[in-house]
Structure 1
Amino acid sequence: MKIASFNINGIKARFEALSAWLDEFKPDVALLQEIKSVDEGFPREHFEDMGYRVETHGQKGFNGVAILSRLPLEDVTRGLPGDASDEQARWIEATVIGARAVRICGLYLPNGNPAPGPKYDYKLAWMARMEAHARSLLAQEMPLVLAGDYNVIPQDADAARPEVWREDALALPQSRAAFRRLLNLGFTDAIRARMPQPGLYSFWDYQAGAWEKNNGIRIDHLLLSPQAADLLIDCGIDKAVRAGEKPSDHVPVWIELDA
């Protein structure tokens, strides 16, 4: 079972790039972030024709997450529990039915800038809610994958120029500590577990020639519960996608599970 996460930075802008990636790499499940579309505006029929079931949790012009799956899905839920007043579309989850059932959560964690400030407070509160929900999901003792754009640079090794991120919400000590608390529940950072070498990034800004200089950061993560980590066969970052036509500023990250 190949599960990928891809912040597409707008379904309208990245329709062709997303379609080409799906056609070439053929993930069984693709978790998308920043679709920037209401549910009714997502080009569902096109991806259904490609063989995918489509589930969205959209929002006009901002945020938005989706699941595309070649495999059956059950118990699809939308929205991160813990704050009924939160209207931002940043969380979707479902159970994928393969040879084994795997619970998948697609997330678009708040950026948090400028920090300090209300946006950073929202980020940290959102991460606390995610930790609480992850605890409840772990208690079910089934393979669990939390995948998406975390907007967290876990360590200095995850940035080409860590010094320029010192005061950014993505790398502040509180952000990193919240990410570590999540890991300490028993999750495995799949990319780091299998690919410990430096220079692995999933995001390059459109400005200042960041892509050409490989001035990137790693903020797209796949965290695996112990049951999912036991099934891990392979993982990777589809870096070449960033060099395509009209690319997102993120690239897909993926895992393959024996499921």
Structure 2
Amino acid sequence: MKITTWNVNSLNVRLPHVQNFLADGRTDILVLQELKLDQDKFPAAALNMMGWQTVWSGQKTYNGVAVISRSQAQDVHTGLPLMPDDPQRRVIAATIDGVRIINVYCVNGEALDSPKFAYKREWFAALTAFVRDEMSRHDKLVLLGDFNIAPADADCYDPEKWHEKIHCSSEERSWFQALLDLGLTDSLRQIHPEGAFYTWFDYRGAMFQRKQGLRIDHLLITPALAAVLENVEVELDMRALERPSDHAPVTATFAD
């Protein structure tokens, strides 16, 4: 089984890229973030015609998450129970072929002194509580998406420049560690303990061409899946396309 996360930064713009990725048979489950589409604008019919099943939580202009799979999703849930009044569509969970998928578009936070950072702090606490509860009921679980956190200096092209800045602050990294402390494994680091594997490259400054990015897109997995993990790959060719997302997809491969 192959499971992929991809922040597409507008599905309207990137739909052909997504369709080609699916048509090439590069994954079995694809989760998307930053759809930037109203709920009724999601291209479900076009994807269904290709043989894919879809569940999604849309939001115009901002946010929005989706799960696309060969098999029908079961037990679909959206949002975080501890934040029932949060209008931002950032979480969708579903069970597919016995694997619990939790797709997240985590809060950016803007800057450490921003009110949006306080929201990010509250949101990650609510996410951690939700994942803890989900793990109590699902042996095979993947928490994946755009976390907007680079967990370590190795996940940043210039640690000195980004030191204690948004995405790379000690506090944010402690939130990421709190998720790992639930019993989850950072799948990419299980396969590649060292090295630079950036997933996001700023459009400005030719950062992709200069290979200067951050690793902020992750797949965190339970022990049952870590035991059968075979590979994790950052699909950089999709970032090299014309009119790409600023994120590259990340795919984890598990033994059947």
- TM-score bracket, shorter-length normalisation: over 0.9
**Residues 25 and 158 of structure 1: CA distance in aligned 2, closer, same or farther (over 3 Å):** farther
Does residue 1:123 correspond to 2:120, yes or no?
yes
Deviation above 3 Å: which 4+ runs of structure 1?
A: none
Q: Deviations over 1:198-237 (max 9, x none)?
A: 1211011100110111011100000001122122122211
Q: Deviations over 1:155-199 (max 9, x none)?
A: 000011122222422111110011011111111000011012312
Which amino acid counterpart does residue 130 of structure 1 have in structure 2? L
Q: Deviations over 1:91-116 (max 9, x none)?
A: 0000002xxx1100000000001222
Match of 1:111 in 2: 108
RMSD: 1.2
Worse overlay, 213-222 or 188-197:
188-197
Match of 2:64 in 1: 64
Measure, in 2, the Cα distance between the counterparts of 1:45 and 1:190: 32
TM, length-normalised to structure 1: 0.96
Match of 1:30 in 2: 30
Measure, in 2, the Cα distance between the counterparts of 1:174 and 1:60: 30
Match of 1:10 in 2: 10
Contact map agreement 1:153 1:159 (CA 8 A) in 2:
yes
Map 1:146-185; keep pairs closer than 5 Å: 146-185=143-182
Q: Once the 2 structures are TM-superposed, how far is the Cα of residue 42 of structure 1 from its aligned partner?
A: 1.1
Match of 1:19 in 2: 19
Worse overlay, 67-76 or 19-28:
19-28
Partner SS, residue 182 of structure 2: coil
Q: Once the 2 structures are TM-superposed, how far is the Cα of residue 141 of structure 1 from its aligned partner?
A: 4.3
Measure, in 2, the Cα distance between the counterparts of 1:164 and 1:42: 38
Does residue 1:250 correspond to 2:247, yes or no?
yes
Match of 1:186 in 2: 183
Measure, in 1, the Cα distance between the counterparts of 2:245 and 2:138: 35
Q: Deviations over 1:119-147 (max 9, x none)?
A: 00111111111111111111124200001
Measure, in 2, the Cα distance between the counterparts of 1:235 and 1:200: 10
Q: Deviations over 1:11-59 (max 9, x none)?
A: 1111112212222243111000000001111111111111111111011
Percent identical: 38
Which amino acid counterpart does residue 206 of structure 2 have in structure 1? G
**Count of matched residue positions in the alignment of Structure 1 and Structure 2:** 256
Runs of 5+ consecutive residues of structure 1 not aligned to the other structure: none
Which amino acid counterpart does residue 44 of structure 2 have in structure 1? R
Measure, in 2, the Cα distance between the counterparts of 1:72 and 1:209: 40
Match of 1:238 in 2: 235
TM, length-normalised to structure 2: 0.97
Q: Deviations over 1:70-111 (max 9, x none)?
A: 0121101111221111010000000002xxx11000000000
Does residue 1:89 correspond to 2:89, yes or no?
yes
Q: Once the 2 structures are TM-superposed, how far is the Cα of residue 66 of structure 1 from its aligned partner?
A: 0.3
Which amino acid counterpart does residue 117 of structure 1 have in structure 2? S
Measure, in 1, the Cα distance between the counterparts of 2:245 and 2:203: 9
Runs of 5+ consecutive residues of structure 2 not aligned to the other structure: none
